[in-house]
Amino acid sequence: MRRILFASLLAATASIANAEPATKEQLMTPPVSARHYPITSTAGKHGDIWSWTLADGRVAYRMSMSLRGWITETDEVMTLGPDGRPTAIAIRGFTDQGDATEDFTVGPDGTAHWKTVIDEGAAPFGAKRYNTYGGPLLASESDVEALVAAGDKGVDLLPTGHGSISIGQTVEIAGPQGSRTVKLAFLRGYGFSPSPVWLDDSNHFFGYAGIVSLLPEGYDANGPKLKEIQDKATADMVRDVAHRFLSPANHTPTLVDHVLVFDSVAGRYLPDRSVLIADGKVVALGAVESIKIPAGTTVIDGHGKTLLPGLWDSHQHVGGDDWNLLQNVATGMTNYRSPGSMIEEALSIYKRRAAGDLVAPDGKISVIIDRKDPLAAQGALTVTSAAEAIAAVDKIKAAGLWGAKFYTSMTPAWIAPAAAEAHKLGLHVHGHVPAGMRPLDAVRAGYDEVTHINFIMMQAMPQDVVDKANTAARLEGPAKYGKDVDLNSPAMKAFYAELAKRHTIIDPTLTVWEPLMTSDGSAISPEYAAFAEVAPPSVVRGWKIGGYPLFDGLTRDDFRKSFAKMVELVGRLNKAGVPIVAGTDGYGLELVREIELYQQAGLSNAQALQTATIIPARMTGMANRTGSIEPGKTADIILVDGDVSKDLANLRHVDTVFLDGYRLKGDELRQASGLSGMPK
């Protein structure tokens, strides 16, 4: 349903096609009488969707959106059959991932046919509904209403899957026609977890709320209120899950025997060891049979397994999806650094985790600061002056959070005074590099860390790319010119040396750029391939993308060469002594692939693992209690099937997770978080 619903608006819609997509000028123009839904966040307005009925009775939609410079321009025409189901859908236009063209028809013989930029097929239509790959998000309203009408039995979907909906509490909201009653509902079958949607008092579609909201014109100011309500409802659901996992029975002493242990501090593997865990801590680590075992200890045979510090995702935006936090634990993540969360959501996560009401990794959280601008980051604290930037830093500190993350639309002159205030208060300073600055400018102005490898590559970009780095140029520049950058030039070597001297940390997030730059729609990107057989069908379909649209005569092979240069750049940084931390900026499922790419860049197996264990623990000031397996430290540990020293892919084969010493079974965690089994 519109590619995993509105929760995925930030990445939504479609991908690249075999022919040129329709241009903005070729798309439909909505009439003045069209229904209008603005796309909004606390940072401002990001776009619009309109809907109207054509003269022949077909339903039309038009979507126009810009999220931080990533552009979506699409339209859709839907033909409804006698029973209200769409029997023909035509989607045109483009998104930040390319051509959005998609067609669905039902033939006279009752056979449904579909073709998108990533797949095509045919199947008996029967009583099923076609689940679109992309298109304007408002068009999902007909699917939502069909689920309501279906009741408990739900709806079978094409190409595959089954959807259902459950309706919960009612809420009064204000609007141009006075107060209005809306109902919270949760959709199932379209993603890993239940997804919230709002209905009107007659159980018709009303809208979506979230970090980015889609609500009727005049009611869009209710987005934060509705988000708070749906977040509370989700918290109630995950609380019951947490109480089941975080039980006293799962907190008894555990001995993992005859296991290969990764020593993250020394960067080596220790064969045939025993590790005792009790009272939430690592009690002892030693040779087999050297440890005295307390009565009532659960003994786990570690033959053929590897015991490692729990993994860190250093670019995991927490908040708004409690189920994703559970899935992070299921995939071996016990810690994170969030480079941008909303203050209220961050404090809620901390509070509920401490109370045992949320199964989640432990970590540190930054808040984004950006200039008030149409290209501002959604969810950011927006500012209009250096003084306001300093005040935003003070607000982050007052909330008890860890860092300030500056964004691409910040005025460069504001960085130094705001960073100085952050450092005075003991906050970590990091972020995107503002338009007009190169990464070394940002570091000299006070950055402790630069996020995303494309901003590191910006050091070697032409000035016109640097000046527009708060637009799509932040990817298009490195994609176009990256392949030709001489990473051995004196200027680049001096760049690496200064970063190393300043101990500047780099958070590459290679897995953000790999699918965009290398994919052609023929296969699932490597970061998700191992999960294809255990994830919901609609999620798997959304993992297929055609890659960022080509431009200026460039080929996909050119883009791939530029991505290879980005990977090589990580290796150069590491060799120069620049600290690297592994982050995904995604679900978190991408983390192992991120680490694998570091090994491709030239890091050793152990060095690659250190970027997701001890190095981020040191970065966040948490190395005294996590990041390594040592007596006295918190038992944030994972046990995986296989020998990780021989193959990092074995990190995906989570057998047991120790979270604050709680012994959690990997298969049960996976099932609870929407994964049907062990990934490959």
Each residue's pLDDT tens digit, 506-563: 999 999 999 999 998 778 989 999 999 999 998 999 898 888 889 999 999 999 999 9
Any alpha helices (H) in 533-623, and if so which ranges?
A: 537-542, 556-575, 591-600, 605-610, 614-619
Intra-chain end-to-end CA distance of the chain, in Å: 27
**Per-residue pLDDT at 521:** 79
The yes-or-no verdict on residue 596 having pLDDT over 70 is yes
Per-residue pLDDT for 93 more than 50?
yes
Does residue 9 register a pLDDT over 70?
A: no
Position 229 pLDDT exceeds 50? yes
**C-alpha count within 13 angstroms, C-beta hemisphere, residue 367:** 26
- Check residue 20 and give its pLDDT: 76
According to DSSP, the β-strands at 102-106 and 98-99 are unpaired
User: What value does the mean pLDDT take over residues 350-369?
Assistant: 98
| Res 10: pLDDT | 40
What pLDDT shows up at residue 523?
84
Give the mean pLDDT of 140-159: 95
Number of H helices, E strands in the chain: 19, 32
- What is the arithmetic mean of pLDDT over 482-504? 98
Tell me the C-alpha distance between 190 and 163, whole Å: 7
Return left, alpha or beta for 195; rule: phi > 0 is left, psi -120 to 50 is alpha, else beta: beta
Mean pLDDT to the nearest integer, 98-110: 94
Say if residue 382's pLDDT is above 70: yes
Percentages of the chain per state (helix, strand, coil), in multiples of 5: 30, 30, 40
CA distance 332 to 188: 25
Of the chain, the percentage scoring pLDDT greater than 70 comes to 97
C-alpha angle with apex 574: 259 to 639, nearest 5 degrees? 15
| Spatial contact of 510 and 594, defined as CB atoms under 8 Å apart | yes
Residue 70 in this model has a pLDDT that exceeds 90: no
Q: What residue ranges do the domains of the chain occupy?
A: 6-242, 432-599
Cα atoms in the Cβ-side hemisphere of radius 13 Å centred on 382: 14
Number of residues assigned to the chain = 680
Lowest mean pLDDT among 80-84, 485-489, 629-633: 80-84
- In this predicted structure, which of 39-53, 410-424, 584-598 has the lowest mean pLDDT? 39-53
pLDDT, residue 12, reads 33
Q: Tell me, what's the pLDDT at 178? A: 87
Query: What local confidence, expressed as pLDDT, does residue 45 receive?
Result: 92
* Average pLDDT of the residues of the chain: 94
